[in-house]
Amino acid sequence: MLIGLEGVEVGTKGKQTVSYTQLLHSTNAPSGHSWHRLCISTHASHGWAPHFSARAGLNTGIESRESAEYDPNLLDDPQWPCGRHKRVLTFPSYTSTVIEYMKPSDLKRDMNKIFKEKFPRVQLTLSKIRSLKREIRRLAQEDCGYEEPTVAMAFVYFEKLALCGKLDKFNRKLGAGACILLAAKIGSDLRRPEIKHLIDKLEERFRLNRRELLAFEFPVLVALEFRLHLPDHELLPHYRRLLHLPDHELLPHYRRLLHLPDHELLPHYRRLLYTV
């Protein structure tokens, strides 16, 4: 079974060559409409346009479509787990929120249902997207020792693909693996042994076939319109959340990188958390 990405056309041997010149822009060219085009190309055949925060942008030739941009806080919004079981009480001088107790399984089911109603063309549940992001972080930081900016880049690539409906239950792990691979190549100075180690870990943790993973990398690159260098407003929210993980999750990573005992490392680490 050939696994691909919806709306992404990749040339194959013996067939007509596919050109991607329309996706290539100068480094300093405005990119406000790129994210909007990425989603519209996926969902045009369904007659559905995704909902994103919109703002005015430069005229880049996209006819009469409102400029839209990727929201890095959308999937990590703490309001999602509350679902319908939240009651907001507004008083003259303050606002109070009451959240009913629910079993975790019921809360998860309700959260996924609300997410599906709001984003009907996203083919993964919100809990599955978050689960895959946790796996991305564990592999990148714990198995490979990459730093937070690289993980944040992988998160942005993965969320963009997921929110545009290009990932489903068949290709989700290949998509996550390809996003880590691209982020590592852009964000880290990798040599051949380090790339081999990363691919080995991707095979092991995600149970992927090496050939399928490497073949999937280019379709992901095309789906992202070759825009791997990310603006700060897309990257920094993920970076800040990664830094605010509990000490016991990040300290092993820093200990491996710096080879320092905890009593020397912790004071600097805590100061870093409060200055970002």
The answer to whether residues 224 and 251 belong to one domain is no
Indicate whether 265 and 211 sit together in one domain: no
The CA-based diameter of the chain, rounded to the nearest angstrom, is 71
Q: State both tokens at 152.
A: 């944040």
**Would residue 97 count as lying in a domain?**
no
Tell me whether residue 71 is in a domain: no
Whether residues 224 and 173 share a domain: the answer is yes
**The domain spanning residue 161 has which CATH number?**
1.10.472.10
Which domain, by its residues, includes 216? 104-242
* Token output for 260: 């320092």
Bridge partner list, 98: 87
The pLDDT tens digits for 75-124 are 887 667 665 667 778 888 888 877 777 788 888 888 899 899 989 989 99
Q: Is residue 32 part of a domain?
A: no
Q: How far apart are CA 269 and CA 87, in angstroms?
A: 38
Q: Same domain for 151 and 161? A: yes
pTM over 0.85: no
Q: pLDDT tens digits for 203-232?
A: 999 999 999 999 999 999 999 988 899 988
> Structure tokens of 91?
């008083």
Domain count of the fold of the chain: 2
CA dihedral 250, 256, 260, 266 (to 10 degrees): 0
Q: Please count the other Cβ atoms lying within 10 Å of the Cβ belonging to residue 216.
A: 23
Closest-CA residue to 148 (of 247, 265, 253) = 253
Q: Does residue 29 belong to any structural domain of this protein?
A: no
Asked whether residue 111 falls in the same domain as residue 236, the answer is yes
DSSP output for 70-104: --TTSTT-TTGGGTT-EEEEE-SS-EEEEE----H
Tokens linked to 51: 């909902």
Spatial distance between the Cα atoms of 265 and 267, rounded to a whole number of angstroms: 6
